[in-house]
Amino acid sequence: MTAAVPAPGAPLRLRDRTFGPDHPVVMAVVNRTPDSFYAAARYADDAAADEAVARAADEGADMVDLGGVRAGRGPVVTVEEEIARVVPLVARVRARHPHLLVSVDTWRSEVARAAADEGADLVNDTWAGHDPGLVEVAAERGLGIVCSHTGGAEPRTDPFRVAYPAAGEDPLDGVVEDVVATVSAGAARAVALGIDPASVLVDPTHDFGKNTWHSLHLVRRTQALAALGHPVLMALSRKDFVGETLDLPPDERLEGTLAATSVAAWLGARVFRVHDVRSTRRTLDMVAAIRGDRAPAHAVRGLA
């Protein structure tokens, strides 16, 4: 008996562009920070960040995600400093790479508003609505929004013995239920404020408020997120759950990342936040072709 191919995830729509099943979306990470967990992704000055954006565009990125604050613990970064790191970069990307979509990774409404003024398309709120004004800024300025899940964790904190009530046949389904409830509520608020449902992304937010078992289970249960009817964002790249699963440091986690990426793409995820653009672009295009969503680029074997 042939197993059915999972249903494709919801399309993504930002600015004047719509991405369906034939075009998985690659979101390139460009951290304008000196202390990102992955050393190769630290772009501490303007020139390095500009070069990283240009390289991502050349390698097949559809979008860049610009961040000015390390997600984990570290030195305090004020709102003013975050704006200074990120907003001029938004302006340069918009001017130099008009085809690229621009996402800003922030949990602060002040930063989102300043970025919107320079042409940002998406607010990537990785801290699950900690600032309730963030989604309001997105709605007012016509931006997309990412609705995430942290299990109630505060910004820039690490999980410690986090647990979710057992649910369903698998005890780990408790984290799935919590994620679905949280991102569904966030998405509903965004839509009620007037944001296009196809511009509201849902992100299970691996590692944030979760242990490695939780994050692995969320990959295998991607369909539960895809069933919500919003485009699913997966930020899997070189994360700790990959490292702990394979016992590898960040700079050796590419293969594990691509394996998780393939599974999530097969199960309906639409957008992938990545450090390794070219490898991910090729992986996602291959998965889309296997699913039957995308035609081969050059198919002549046995025909010519």
Which positions are annotated as active-site residues? Answer: 239, 273
Tell me which residue has tokens 């075009």.
23
CB 88 within 8 A of CB 96: no
Rg (CA), the chain: 18
* AA identity, residue 152: G
CA 91 → CA 125, 172, 287, distances in Å?
A: 20, 43, 34
* Own/partner pairs, 274-277, CB within 8 angstroms, 24+ separation: 274/26, 274/27, 274/28, 274/29, 274/236, 274/237, 275/28, 275/29, 275/38, 275/40, 275/41, 275/237, 275/238, 276/237, 277/26, 277/28, 277/55, 277/56, 277/59, 277/60, 277/61
Q: Which of 224, 263, 223, 255 is nearest to 237 (CA)?
A: 255
| Distance, CA of 58 to CA of 181 (rounded, Å) | 38
| Distance, CA of 105 to CA of 141 (rounded, Å) | 16
